[in-house]
Structure 1
Amino acid sequence: MSDSDDDIPQLSSHTLAALQEFYAEQKQQTDPGGDDKYNIGIIEEDWQLSQFWYSPETALRLAEEALAVAGEGGRIACVSAPSVYQKLRELHREDLSVYLFEYDKRFAIYGEEFVFYDYNNPLDLPQKIIAHSFDIVVADPPYLSEECLQKMAETAQYLSQGKILLCTGAIMEEAAAGLLGVKMCKFIPKHTRNLANEFRCYVNYDSGLDSES
């Protein structure tokens, strides 16, 4: 990954809506009976980017958790967690501010809420992103490695006012605790596809996710 890509174009809300409608119609024409199980809106998983979408139930539960923590007028950062971002958009709270920090530029269709993000450059963020301005950060490192987790932890700590919801493999428990002070929750997230590695949620605050399994 590199940060040498062209700048992301900023679309007006009208243009964005028209573009999304066009893509939706195009998908319906090319795959009218297709299964949306592995899609987020119109965007499909890309395994080459280590993308694995959450199940709708998991995405909803994590989105609800983020909303509860952020509160009225809150700000939420989804770092490499497009499933949660998409669910937050579907819940459509006018008072909410949500940003998606993501390497995959297909998500640029979401306009100003999309921030190009390469975990290899954890603090290479646009000036509009102010340090410690998010009530909660939902982070999902794309790779199960301590290096990836360490770099994404830098991003999460920079963005967050304190509260972090991390989703990663169970094998990362010790590293996650050391880097972010998070503890494993009882809630077990699920994906649309069965993954070989056990996946868990971690938080550094008192959470309702710790009373679920």
Structure 2
Amino acid sequence: MSDSEDDGPPQLSSHALAALQEFYAEQRLRTEPGADEKYNIGIIEENWQLSQFWYCQETALRLAQEAMRAAGDGGRIACVSAPSVFQKLRELQGEGASACIFEYDKRFAIYGDQFVFYDYNKPLDLPDSITAHSFDIVVADPPYLSEECLQKTSETIRFLTRAKVLLCTGAVMEEEAARLLGVRMCKFIPQHTRNLANEFRCYVNYDSGLD
């Protein structure tokens, strides 16, 4: 390499440059008016490394309200890998149902006994305090779009729920979701704070307000 090449400024690859431009664009978005409302559903922000992708405010509210309606007065709601719905339910506390979050992310331990550490790879490895069929509805959003993840998460869902299931996952999982949980696709289409490559849909096994 020549001296002139050594002395020149370092050059970024096209991939690195694109990633840097995306980062700066996101930072600009976060400083715009209303950015906090767009990206922050609750006091804990999403962590991409844990495959977390928050719903937008409108979707989180719609799903939380549906879960409360389905659970009924004094009902219990389990949020399995659905932290943005849980945080919205926290905002709505005092309106009837109570909620627990089953989540791998230990930041949610700040919610005390409402937090249950959950690893989908060990679907039934739950505390003794969590008994079978003790929740009126389970709201679940498996962290990965794979049959294996849905199969294992479904074991947890079937153990927790008395009957009702509200599942959010990719449209490509429709047949597998129906086979494992007896759910059907709803008309309501969930939206995230960020544009995801895969089309997401909601599935239920009861008469919901999402159709």
SS in 1 for 2:90: helix
Residue 40 of structure 1, CA deviation:
3.5
Equivalents in 1 of 2:160, 2:210: separation in Å?
A: 22
Larger Rg: 2
Residue 35 of structure 1, CA deviation:
3.5
Structure 1 residue aligned with 2:8: none
Equivalents in 2 of 1:74, 1:92: separation in Å?
A: 12
Structure 2 residue aligned with 1:52: 53
Residue 94 of structure 1, CA deviation:
6.1
Equivalents in 1 of 2:78, 2:133: separation in Å?
A: 11
Equivalents in 1 of 2:63, 2:97: separation in Å?
A: 15
Residue 34 of structure 1, CA deviation:
9.2
SS in 2 for 1:132: coil
Q: TM-score, normalised by structure 1?
A: 0.81
Residue 112 of structure 1, CA deviation:
0.7
Structure 2 residue aligned with 1:42: 43
Residue 41 of structure 1, CA deviation:
2.4
AA aligned opposite 2:191: K
SS in 2 for 1:168: strand
Count of aligned pairs: 179
Structure 2 residue aligned with 1:104: 105
Are the counterparts in 1 of residues 186 and 202 from structure 2 also a CA contact under 8 Å? yes
Gaps spanning 5+ residues in structure 1: where? 1-30
Gaps spanning 5+ residues in structure 2: where? 1-30
State percent identity of aligned pairs: 78
Structure 2 residue 99 is matched with structure 1 residue 120: no
The CA deviation string for residues 123-166 of structure 1, in whole angstroms up to 9 with x for no partner, is 00001111001000000000000000000000000000011000
Residue 206 of structure 1, CA deviation:
1.0
Residue 95 of structure 1, CA deviation:
4.3
Question: Superposition pairs for residues 1-213 of structure 1, below 5 Å?
Answer: 35-36=35-36, 37-93=38-94, 95-210=96-211
Q: TM-score, normalised by structure 2?
A: 0.82
The CA deviation string for residues 91-133 of structure 1, in whole angstroms up to 9 with x for no partner, is 1126432100000001111111000000000000001111001
AA aligned opposite 2:171: A
Equivalents in 2 of 1:191, 1:100: separation in Å?
A: 19
